[in-house]
Each structure stands twice: as structure tokens, then as C-alpha cells.
Structure 1
């Protein structure tokens, strides 16, 4: 989209002027001219506490509040510059956001609005961090956004033949010039920090002569604590301090990316394809891209074909000739067992270029040759491609540790290049330059990736901060939260200010109809008083954020009144507040073994919203009339006030239900709920709902030391299913209601039909080894076929197949109803036509939106426009899908860490199941610990070269180390494995190491 600004400014009234912006928007080959009025003001303040002029021009907002002046009247003073404010250009924000967030540098910073807009267009994650930095800026940092585009004194019009970038750079310089003149009497200088040499040089023009312009490095060099923060300067190709002469002369090079015009033309003509790259967990030199054009993923094999892609990047690929198509690799390859060149200052050894820059032994070369021959013979051939562009990077902050063998021990002081090995094995190591290499060995560190030039074998990055010693609980916990992009910092003051001023003393009014109560909350008259109902909650042991409660009562006509009561979070979390923005950003609470990272502040989650027993609480209730067969006769939705009679754990509830001596009305209601839930579940199963499984375990912590001391497989009771069935029923009922009222923007959740190709390998293994098969004609056919996968000799086999089937499924996702046709709303796993999440608003933002939409649907209160706008709903859904997935991975990583700690002192022989057979190893699942691990061929036999892999029979044959006899291992075999805990030499993560007995 091109833009022009017409010079047609006129004064409308005091403090207000108007000009015009003319946009030319191109879409589908056509062009549309759009003219918009652009208002300019003379009352936008500089926000400096030292300024006396702006106090006379500012006007109160709609709440009669004056703007808060943030910039210090006595800012930092440094040599050669004196007291100053800092103005940043767009590239500095994009390149150095880590440095800007550093609490020990960059104070009194002005972000021009044009910079904010450009950052948003180029990197939404960085934009979010910048907004957070400005919004939550404390008394120490003091960041502000200056609306230069609406200030009459700083707005600039685009000149003829001037590019948009040049106009924006000029607007930034104009902002600097205005601040310089505006604060001249206060002796406060304004510094432009920019890495754009042309932008800095432009400040030397006579009109801009009072601006001081410095590069990032030049500015940091002037700071008194330069030695502490210099390691955090972005490691960019253009930065001369970070590119040594040897590497600059390197003959090594990746293929250059295609130009934008070539990419757009190629995609349009169907010769280039766009998708996201997923690097194999078993082979770091193989990735796959799912494209709608092909039934199977397209493979990208080899370092040059991967062409600097990171796992998760959006890439553009070009197909290779059909003669080069092949099957996925059947060997395990990682940097630990294939000798990667680890010299950070030696990137020009062209002789290492074969097979992805690996220095390989003859044995490794023979293994690769064997794999290539098998691939050519295989009937599992897939298209192969090479990456020709990366439109969007998935780069974020990463956690890793310095590779000790990359440190030059001869360097006693000063900076040196070292490699950082990341915790995620699918990612390449990162080269950083640091003065602290020796002191950081053995510690978890956070780094950011800055660039990956074509003549560098590895990406360049910079040090951000030190998390602590490897394997310490604090460092490992913070590492996994950062690795999975979980926001864990304390809630800001602005967020906490949104909470009720009474704090923990807040109470539901005892009389809902009193004039005092109605004066505070006029909506109170619409709430239904359900405090007479015998309501209880059933949750995991120790649960304090109680989202849901239930009740059942026999009706005079023989039917049942059943209620699901959900915490009324939206009474406290109002739209368009800092509290709402924070909840929307976090998206979900994250549950780790030893802690919970809350979506909402503790006051709400564990007190005011939590449906604790014996106290009055606001709720959103779904009330059904059900007959004895659990058919819905009627359903109503209402905001309510409840008083839970008891908070049970699953086990406590089960004991009470099973105790025949308990005949009170509350217990009778729980028994009715259990009977009805059994009928509800059977209806779902009859409709084709899937009963899948995952290797879930629970880690028990010592009550005194908080050390992990035991691992057990989670046990599910009938009361688990009781709660689940009624939560599902509530979610389905709410989904129907909100879709009926808001057919274009209802917040829903779908689960797609898995492609048959996802089950190909599993079906081949089942057919070959067990003469069984999984049917995929429908969810009902799949459910029935899973029921038939039974081995009379092994009760666990059916669970194993359900676990493996779960991994073949599509991921469920949140969406707004206007994004799909009704037929695509279906939730495959639950076998229902429409579904949402409503029952956990304390810990999921989707449920908060569903609550607001349901309140609008029943006429309780108007629905906020943000939940009636497709674009905003799309942004919400994208974020909560990402946050939900990250929370799951973080939870699993926490369990994996603590299981590893338990096994440190608990080495044992356990039963395992072979779930994958490879050319050079087998993957075994150990149900006892819920872990799986790779056993390499070299750890099973003294003669790996004599091993034989049969991809048809899924069999690995080798000479056993102990007996000296030939041994065959097939997929699904039940094997004994020796389990111990080891520290991974690459990632320094403690993991389960398995050895075949």
C-alpha cells in the first residue's frame, strides 16, 4: 500500500488543524484511492517534568484527568553530552529491545509514534514488548510514546519523490529538533540513537544542527556502566567489532534468498510454496513443510537446502527435481553424535561442506550411505525442496549454555567469539561475542538472535542475561518458562490498580436488593440468588483457584435440576482495562510441578473469584432440566450469587459417594450427578467421541524440603469423569447460545479431522506386527477400531496405541465463528457439532470472552465492540492458541525436569515399550515415569556396523552386548530397560537415559 499526504492543512479551531492523507491501496491487481482527514493538535505535551510550557496547553481527558508527565526533570548526565533525553529510531527498537528492557541503561526515552507504528508493522512481538515497556515504565526507566504524527509542531508532509522510509526518518529527526528547541532553557539535550548512517548524517544539515546523533555502539560507549552492558549490544553483520577479517574473507556461503518480486510471482504462478518449517526431532538436518497442495509434507534435507531456517519460521520453498525426492530419514542425527565443527572463529573450511558442514567418521558416512539406499528403495517417497526465502522469522529469546570447547583459554581478558548451545536440539548453536565467557561456563544464559548472514555457517546473537547455575531449580524453572514464551513477571501497578480497593475484604452484598448495593452495582438486580442450592466443587487436591461448582436437585415432575456454576470473572475484569489487556496477553495460567503462573492476579484467582466453600460468590450459572436419561428438557443461563457447601478433592468426593451411610441431600445430589454423567458419557461415545490417552504422571514433592521424591501414574476416578461430563455439557450449551446471538464472532473451539496420512505409519506398524488396523472413516469408526486394538497378554497395549494415536491427531484450536463454515465447527475428538470453553475463566482468556458474549446474549449487559469485531477476534484467537500450546509444553517440560531429578537417586530396571525403530536406534516409552528415550545402536552392540534395519518389518537386528548372540527388536515389543538420570552433554538438561537389558 502506497501513501501520500496532501498539503491541505487548515485551522479548524484553537488547538486543532486538519490535513489529508491519501492512500492508494492495491488488492487483487486493482488500486483504490482512499482520502482520510488527519487532525493535528497544538496541545500534545512533551511529557517532561522539567517543562513549564506544556502545563498551560494540556486539557483533561473524558474523566477530567490531566496527563501524567513522566520524563525526569533531572535526567541522566553523561560525559560529552550532559543531561539528556533519548529518541530512538525503528531499527534500534527492533534490534535492541533486550537492551532497552535492561534495568541498568536507557532512561528517559522518547518513542515517536511513527516508530511505534513501524515496529508494529515489522514485528508484532517486539511491538508488544515496547508497548509494555512504555505502559509499565517505572520511575527509574521512564519511557514515553510521543504522538508526533498528531502534533502540529512535529508532523511532516511527504515530499515529492520522497520514499515512505525517508519521510518517516525525517519525522523522527523533526521530533528530535522540536524537543531540542522546546527544552533549550532547561539545558536538556535530545540524543537521536540510530544505526542508520544516512539518518545520522542528515542531522548535520543546518536546520537540524542542534541534534546530537549517535549509533547504538557510540551511545553505549559513553555510558558509565558500559562494561556491564556491552555484551548485550546486537551482534549485527554491519557491526565491525563482531565480524573478524578471516570470516569476512570466507568462501563459505548459503544460497541468497530470492527477491520479493520473484517470490510473489512464483507463489502466484504455483512454482513456489509458502508454509512453516518444522525441524525433525531426530535429525537436525531435516525439516518438513506442510502444504495444502501435497498430501504429504515436503521434505527439506541438508544445511544448504534448509538455508538458515529456524524451527517454526515461515518459509518459501522451491521443489527439487523428482529424481531427488526421497523418504524421511531413518537415522538419528544431532550435533552430539555427529562431530560438528565447533570453532567459533573458523567458518571458512569449505572441505567440511559435505552433508551439512559435518566432519564425519567413516562409520558415520557408511550410516548415511545406508540411509540413502533405503530411502531410494522406499515406497514412502516424499517431495523434497529447498528454502529460497524466509518472510517471517520465529526468533525470540533463547536459553542455552556456552560450549566449553568453544572458549579460547589463551584469552585472559577482552571479548571473544563463543558458541551457545540451545536447550532446543532442533535449533542451531548461536555465536555470540562476550567478555565473560569463562565465568558463564556451566550457567544457563539467555541470548537473542540478531542475524544470520549468508557467509556465516551459524547465526549471530548477543548475550541478554545470566539465569543461574545449570540444574538449579530457579535457573531451570525460569529457563523452561522463557523457552516456552510464558510471561511470568509480576503484575504491574496499573494492572493491580484495577482490582477492588477493598482487597481481600471485598464481599458480596448480603442483601442483593438493598439501595446501597444497587447504587454500587445496578446490574445486581439481574442476578439470581442461588444461595439456597446445595452446591459443591470437586477438584484436584490442593486446588485454590476453583473455577466451577455443581449441584443437582430432584424436581417434582421426576426430572433433575442440574446446575454448573462458573466463577464470574468478568464482574472484576472489565474490557479495555490494563487488567483485561494483561489477561488477554497471557492467555492462560500455566501449571508447573512446583508452581502456578497465573493469568490473573492472585487476589482474583485464589480469593474473590474462586468458588470457595462457606462464602458468597458471584457466578455465571448454566441450569438444565434433565430427564433420567440425561436428555436436556430445558436450559437457562443466568448471572448468580452462590454459596458452595463444600470443596472436595476427586478422592474425597468418590469416598463420600461410595459411603452408603451418607444419605444427606448434598451426597444424594452428587450421586445423581454421577449417574447422569455416566449416561452423558455413553451418549458421547455412541456418537463417536474418542477416548485417547497420554503418558501422564504426577510428581510428589517433599512437604518440608520441596524436593521431588516420587513419581506415579495419574489415577482417574469416576468423579473425574463426573466433573468432565458436566463441564463439556456446559461448554456445548454455551457455544450454541453465543453462536445464535453472535453468528460472526462467537468464540468457539474446533478439532479438525486428522488426514489419513497422519496414521499411515502407525497403521503399517499395527498391520505388520499385530494384524490390526485403525479405521479413519469417521470419529466413531476410529473410536471403535481403537477399542479393538487389544492384546490379551498385555493390558497396557491398548493404552499404548491410544497414546500413539493421540500424536497423530490434529491440534484443537480456538476460532471465531465467522472464520469457518458451520460444518467446519465440528470438534472431532468430542464428536459434537459446536463447542467452546466457558468453564475456566480464572485460568483461560477464551472463557472470559465466552462469558462476555453469553452476558450479551442473555441481555445482562452490552457486549464490548472488541468481541464483535472479526479482526480483533482473530488477533485474540491467534494469541490464545499460541499461549495454550506453550502452556502445555511448559507443563510437560516441568514434569520432565522433576522426573529427571527423582531418577538421580532412583536408578532402576523398568518395563518399556518400543514405539519407534530407526536405522541406528530404537525409541522406548517407559510408562512408570511417563518418559521416552532413544537407545542408540552403539549402546546396544559393540559392532554397530553389523546391525540391520528392516523398515518393512519395523525391526532392528544386532549382536547383543551381553550374550554375544543375534537379537531382534520389533516395534511394540515389551522390553526391560535400565533407567538412569544423566545430564545431556548438548543441552545440559537432565534426562532419562535408557539402556536395553
Structure 2
């Protein structure tokens, strides 16, 4: 094989093998490079490595490699359980992708300061001897990195507490996903120097909106109010939409300590019971937050919109507002539903809310006409009591009040993007590229079992039995796309969503459609936004919690002042890459913590029965999502009684050999919770009652 080295990031599977994603395209290589466990153990998950190809299949571009050198280490420390084994001390990494325990020499077990980390709800932790730490969650600084032949060595720097202590789960996620969570002293010093009072000289040079009954509309627990809105009807019958966004750029200057930290953080991270803000609280919930009844500086987008939803005129300006009310989604929804008490309390604002509802409907219908996709998948809401204990899981509300703010923010983002793009100034666009043909083919293969299709031309593809699946363990069925030129549009997705609305398969097919799409990201090149069916889009409306929005504000400000572009194209490319990376880490941390909390909540319900939907079938069993709880778990194929069951690859069904009873995606079943694996955050179920599907032939797909 060629001795040319390929560089990329190592992704390690919990079972030890790994993959390296090349940083640049490699001729003849169609996918990530597979690394067997012996090779993957030479580095840690996330490291940047140099790999030599040792085996390449020219037919499909699959390659196997070996790590030659570690180019960049991403882990300076490891968080995990403290363990005492055979008179030695170790840290067992919480992240299962970090293989091998870290040995802690006896002299380095107790932190020098002897204090636990400062966290919400933390109680004093009495630690006198290393043995007192057994089972606790700690952080160890790495002194020697683990390798294939040797354990890593470290020293304890933090004692977080027991895994079930309040707040420890958040601390683990922060460290696992390497989320910056402590502001450096210089940042805090700058933040303390910020004054909330607006100088009259600054207000005088801005457009004054303080006489308007502008409002913010947010969730009940929100403290950082980015946006405020106002709608009026013009004499010509059109609407005037004003979207006022906190002028963070006024307070955060390029190159300042706060700015440098914000670049690194990229985004605020929202956990169920706390947030890790991008900006210090003096700004995020103080000077920048659009609190009611106080003067605040804003960047404003003013749009005249006709009855088709077209923006017929627009302008942008620096402004000063005084929010009339801090409204909640719940209250505005109730007002629009006719709640007499709230309509009386906010009588002066009711006509404004009615106009907002009317305009939001017009904007939504316009987006629908152009092909914008709205999956409206349920999101879990973790519920707590006054002591911080989790009490339940429910569906997060998404009512008309949420939708009208969404529509107004989308309109403002699109208007700003088009304005800046026309000037040719570089900004981080929010882009969403069309799906890969292979992902579409995989979705169509499953959708056909429900008689559904995106309606695009047949994907030129073939199926092949693979020797190794992506997980490196099982043989299986792979789709090879032979013609990647697929005329897929957002309308194909939109129309299928409309066809399956209200049907039993709606939930699973909507989820699978979403999975077939690429992730949205930031980019210096305007590539359009597939899901929104928008040719030009950016993020402008949340500069308190997203760094790309702050950049867009600065660029818009330069345009307003007649100045040259404040950022170069390479500079915006670097910002976009960092922001996308931060966003992915935040989303993964938020998702994983919610899953962990859901599993912990289910610990006390072992033996209970639930109804749910089969959302995935695998050779080892099928996964069920429970109704109303948004919790999923595995029903192992070995637990299915009364027959010998096997997995049929080409139909993705689990079928009994004698009875022909089958289980497939979309089936409803009743299950019993048998086991909770808290360490791996997994639930295991078995079938309860008469949950077996009716024996007989498979359902014939319906035409659509």
C-alpha cells in the first residue's frame, strides 16, 4: 500500500475499534478509515492523528488503517469514577469511548486544595483518605497519555461528588464534551465594568422606539431576553413588523477578553436545570437583556410585509427601546385562545397580539408555498420540584405564541442575510445543504414498507451484503448509490409530511426523514438553507447566546456606518468552523444529559408496563419509544418467547420462524421494564401481555 499518511480526527467506538475522518479528500477513498482496536488504542477519542492505509477495497472505497502518529491531543484531563483496585488508585473514564483506566499515584490522589468543585447545590464533601473517594466522580489531569501497551497516569484535580448528587450529572457532561464553563478573571473584570444604564448621548444618536408598546415573548424560566417585537397595520393594508435585537456589539468589542472567550464558547449551553452562558451574567441577564420598563440598546430590522408574506420594503437601524411587558408563550397563547382574565389584564396589548397572529399565519403560508419543511417532532421537557428533584417527563409545548416568534425571527434573519449578501460583506451564513443520495435511498428503502415515498425519481442504487458493517462487528446490507445526481428538493419532504399527517407511521417516518438530512452549520459561503427553502439565510436574532449572530451584528453595523467589511473571508471561515464545532458539542451534551435524566427517572419503575412504538429493528432486537415519556429502550430478540425469531435484513423485520409473527418499525407494543443500566444509560424491556403482531403475510405497500 501507499506510504502516504492521511491526517484526520479519531472517533472511537465503545467496543474499541475506531474511524478516522480524513481532513481532505483522498483519491479512491469513499468513506472514513476503519481502525481495528489494536490501532485505535494508540490514541484517544477526538485526537488528531496521522494514519497509514494498510488495506483498501477499490470497488467501494473502504479502507483499513493504522495510526502512525498522534498529531494533537484534545484531552488534558479525564472525568470519571474513582476506583480502588489491588491497592492501586484509578479513574475509570465516564466517556466509554476513552478506553483504559487512568492510574493515580497515591501522592496525587487528593487535590492540593482539598475542596470540591463549586457547583449548584453542592454539599460539603468530607474526604480524609483516598479510600473516601471510592465511587465518586473526579477529574484527573493527564500526566502520561494511555497507549496500547500502557495505562495513562494522572493526578486528581477536582472532586465533583457522587454520581447521583444534584448537579453532578451536569458537571460530568460539561467536562465530557469539553465545554468551557469558567470565565477567566480578565473576562469577569471586564464584565463587572459594564454599566446597565444607557448614556443619554448614546440614546440620542439612535432611533427612538421607546414610545411603542414593544414586548418580549419567552419561556417562563428565561432570563436572557434577546428579542422584542412589534406589529402594526399600515394605511395601505400591509403590515409593519419590527424585530428589535439586543445590541450586544455595543458592549462586546472585537479583541476584548469577553470577545475572545465568546469565540471559544461559541454558544450558550442549556441543560434542564441550569445554563452555561456564552457571555458573563452581567451582560447576558443584565445590560444586554431586554428587560421590561428599562431602556435597552438594540439593532432593529423593520419590514413592510404584504398579504402574500412578501417583504416589500425593509430597513435596518440602531435603536433604543423600553419593553412594555415581559410576556410568556403561555400567557400569549392563552390570550389568543380567549382567556378572559388575561385579555382583561393585557387589554391594551390584545389588538397587537391579534395582529401578530395574523401576520405569523401569512408568513407561515408563504414559507409553506416555497417548500419549507416543518417536522414538528415532540421534544421532551424534564420536570422538577422545588428541591430540584426530577418529577416527570412531558412534551415541551409548541403553541401559536412559539410559532409567531419563530416566524418573525426567520423573517428578520432572512432579511438581514439578503441585505448583507447584496453588499458583498463576508458573514457566517447559516447553511443547510441538500441530503446525500445515499441517505435518501436508505430512507426510501424503509419508507416503502409503509407504502410511502418522497416521490423523487428512483434512486440509482444497488444493495450489497457487507463483510463488515460500520460498527465493525456484524455483517449486513449496505446501499451503494450508483448515481449521486438526485433532483431532491424540500418540497419532496414537505409533501410526504402532509401525506402521513395523522397516520400511525407519522412519528417514525418524520424521525427517519429528519435523520436523512444533513446537519445545518455555519459557513462563509452562502449555500442556501434546504429545510427552510431559503436561498440566503443567517443568524441575527440571538447575539446573547450565539457568536455568529454577534458577528452579523458587527457587519450590519459597519454597513450602517458606511465602513468597510470588518471581517475577511478567511476570518469568517475560521469563525464558522469554530461555531459549528461548539454548536455540535453543546447539542450533544444537552441531548445526552436529557437521556441520562430520563434513564435515572425510570430506575424506580422497573416492573411497570408501558405502551410504545417500535422505532428501529436490529439483528439483536428492536427499540421501543414509550408513549408520552419520550424514553426508548431495547427489547432483545432473545427475550421474545414462543418461537425462534430472526432478523430479515431486506425488510428489516423480526420474524418468528414457526409462527411467522413479526415485529417491524411502526408497530405498537406493550412492554415491561426489566432492567436499567445507569452506567451506560440504557433501558431493557420485554414484551408484556399479548403484544405479538398478528401472524400472517406482510402488509402490501400502499401506492402514494
The CA distance in 2 between the partners of 1:311 and 1:927, in whole Å, is: 35
Partner of 1:840: 542
Deviations 1:666-725 (A, max 9, x none): 32222222222122122222222222355511011112x121112101121011110001
- Correspondence 1:434 to 2:142: no
Partner of 1:285: 17
Q: CA distance change for structure 1 residues 701 and 313 in 2, over 3 Å: closer, same or farther?
A: same
Contact kept? 1:903, 1:980, Cα under 8 Å: no
Decide which of 441, 461, 485 is 1:760's aligned counterpart. Answer: 441
Matches within 5 A, 1:555-570: 555-570=234-249
Deviations 1:15-48 (A, max 9, x none): xxxxxxxxxxxxxxxxxxxxxxxxxxxxxxxxxx
- Correspondence 1:805 to 2:544: no
Decide which of 346, 362, 367 is 1:684's aligned counterpart. Answer: 367
TM-score (norm 1): 0.58
Decide which of 36, 39, 53 is 1:318's aligned counterpart. Answer: 53
Decide which of 571, 575, 578 is 2:257's aligned counterpart. Answer: 578
- SS of 1:498's partner is helix
Q: CA distance change for structure 1 residues 845 and 557 in 2, over 3 Å: closer, same or farther?
A: same
- SS of 1:473's partner is coil
Deviations 1:168-200 (A, max 9, x none): xxxxxxxxxxxxxxxxxxxxxxxxxxxxxxxxx
Deviations 1:349-381 (A, max 9, x none): xxxxxxxxxxxxxxxxxxxxxxxxxxxxxxxx7
Partner of 1:877: 576
Partner of 1:553: 232
Partner of 1:496: 188
Deviations 1:967-991 (A, max 9, x none): 532233222222477343xxx3555
Q: CA distance change for structure 1 residues 826 and 724 in 2, over 3 Å: closer, same or farther?
A: same
The CA distance in 1 between the partners of 2:656 and 2:142, in whole Å, is: 43
Deviation, structure 1 residue 768? 3.5
Decide which of 324, 344, 359 is 1:645's aligned counterpart. Answer: 324
Deviations 1:372-411 (A, max 9, x none): xxxxxxxxx772412343544443533222466xx11xx3
Deviation, structure 1 residue 628? 2.2
The CA distance in 2 between the partners of 1:696 and 1:660, in whole Å, is: 26
Q: CA distance change for structure 1 residues 698 and 837 in 2, over 3 Å: closer, same or farther?
A: same
The CA distance in 2 between the partners of 1:502 and 1:754, in whole Å, is: 45
Contact kept? 2:620, 2:636, Cα under 8 Å: yes
- SS of 2:167's partner is helix
The CA distance in 2 between the partners of 1:996 and 1:895, in whole Å, is: 25
- Say which structure, 1 or 2, has more relative contact order (CA 8 Å, 6+ apart): 2
Partner of 2:556: 854
Deviation, structure 1 residue 608? 2.0
Deviation, structure 1 residue 918? 2.1
The CA distance in 2 between the partners of 1:306 and 1:942, in whole Å, is: 42
- Correspondence 1:303 to 2:29: no
Q: CA distance change for structure 1 residues 508 and 465 in 2, over 3 Å: closer, same or farther?
A: closer
The CA distance in 2 between the partners of 1:430 and 1:311, in whole Å, is: 14
Q: CA distance change for structure 1 residues 768 and 887 in 2, over 3 Å: closer, same or farther?
A: same
Contact kept? 1:274, 1:317, Cα under 8 Å: no
Deviation, structure 1 residue 637? 0.6
Q: CA distance change for structure 1 residues 294 and 628 in 2, over 3 Å: closer, same or farther?
A: farther
Partner of 2:652: 954
Partner of 1:400: 80
The CA distance in 2 between the partners of 1:455 and 1:627, in whole Å, is: 66
Decide which of 687, 696, 703 is 1:996's aligned counterpart. Answer: 687
Q: CA distance change for structure 1 residues 694 and 284 in 2, over 3 Å: closer, same or farther?
A: farther
Deviations 1:451-508 (A, max 9, x none): 667661765655443321122123222111111112222x3442233246575xx323
- Correspondence 1:711 to 2:409: no
Partner of 1:780: 490
Deviation, structure 1 residue 800? 2.2
Matches within 5 A, 1:669-680: 669-680=352-363
Q: CA distance change for structure 1 residues 982 and 690 in 2, over 3 Å: closer, same or farther?
A: same
Deviation, structure 1 residue 612? 1.6
Partner of 1:596: 275
Decide which of 915, 926, 930 is 2:630's aligned counterpart. Answer: 930
Contact kept? 1:737, 1:857, Cα under 8 Å: no
The CA distance in 1 between the partners of 2:443 and 2:153, in whole Å, is: 40
Contact kept? 2:82, 2:89, Cα under 8 Å: no
Contact kept? 1:786, 1:798, Cα under 8 Å: no
Deviation, structure 1 residue 832? 0.8
Higher relative helix content: 1
Deviations 1:831-865 (A, max 9, x none): 111111110111111111111111111117x57x8
Structure number with bigger Rg:
1
Q: CA distance change for structure 1 residues 889 and 398 in 2, over 3 Å: closer, same or farther?
A: same
Deviation, structure 1 residue 309? 4.6
Partner of 2:663: 969
- SS of 2:228's partner is strand
Contact kept? 2:432, 2:520, Cα under 8 Å: yes
The CA distance in 2 between the partners of 1:737 and 1:793, in whole Å, is: 42
The CA distance in 2 between the partners of 1:788 and 1:554, in whole Å, is: 32
- SS of 1:387's partner is strand
The CA distance in 2 between the partners of 1:403 and 1:949, in whole Å, is: 40
Contact kept? 2:105, 2:154, Cα under 8 Å: no
Deviation, structure 1 residue 792? 6.4
Decide which of 768, 783, 790 is 2:500's aligned counterpart. Answer: 790
Partner of 1:507: 197
Q: CA distance change for structure 1 residues 448 and 492 in 2, over 3 Å: closer, same or farther?
A: closer
Deviation, structure 1 residue 429? 2.6
The CA distance in 2 between the partners of 1:792 and 1:543, in whole Å, is: 33
TM-score (norm 2): 0.81
The CA distance in 1 between the partners of 2:551 and 2:307, in whole Å, is: 33
The CA distance in 2 between the partners of 1:927 and 1:857, in whole Å, is: 51
Contact kept? 2:10, 2:18, Cα under 8 Å: no
Contact kept? 1:430, 1:461, Cα under 8 Å: no
Partner of 1:447: 140
- SS of 1:994's partner is strand
Contact kept? 1:429, 1:459, Cα under 8 Å: yes
Deviation, structure 1 residue 636? 0.7
Matches within 5 A, 1:623-638: 623-638=302-317
- SS of 1:900's partner is helix
The CA distance in 2 between the partners of 1:941 and 1:287, in whole Å, is: 37
Deviations 1:224-263 (A, max 9, x none): xxxxxxxxxxxxxxxxxxxxxxxxxxxxxxxxxx9xxx85
The CA distance in 2 between the partners of 1:773 and 1:750, in whole Å, is: 22
Gaps of 5+ in 2: 110-129, 457-485, 689-704
Matches within 5 A, 1:611-622: 611-622=290-301
Q: CA distance change for structure 1 residues 321 and 612 in 2, over 3 Å: closer, same or farther?
A: closer
- Correspondence 1:734 to 2:412: no
The CA distance in 1 between the partners of 2:79 and 2:318, in whole Å, is: 45
Deviates more, 1:965-974 or 1:752-761: 965-974
Contact kept? 2:634, 2:683, Cα under 8 Å: no
Deviation, structure 1 residue 893? 2.5
Contact kept? 1:299, 1:382, Cα under 8 Å: no
Decide which of 402, 407, 413 is 1:720's aligned counterpart. Answer: 402
Deviation, structure 1 residue 297? 2.8
Deviates more, 1:468-477 or 1:494-503: 494-503
Gaps of 5+ in 1: 1-257, 267-271, 326-380, 510-516
Q: CA distance change for structure 1 residues 709 and 382 in 2, over 3 Å: closer, same or farther?
A: farther
Deviations 1:859-898 (A, max 9, x none): 17x57x8x42344333322222122112212222332233
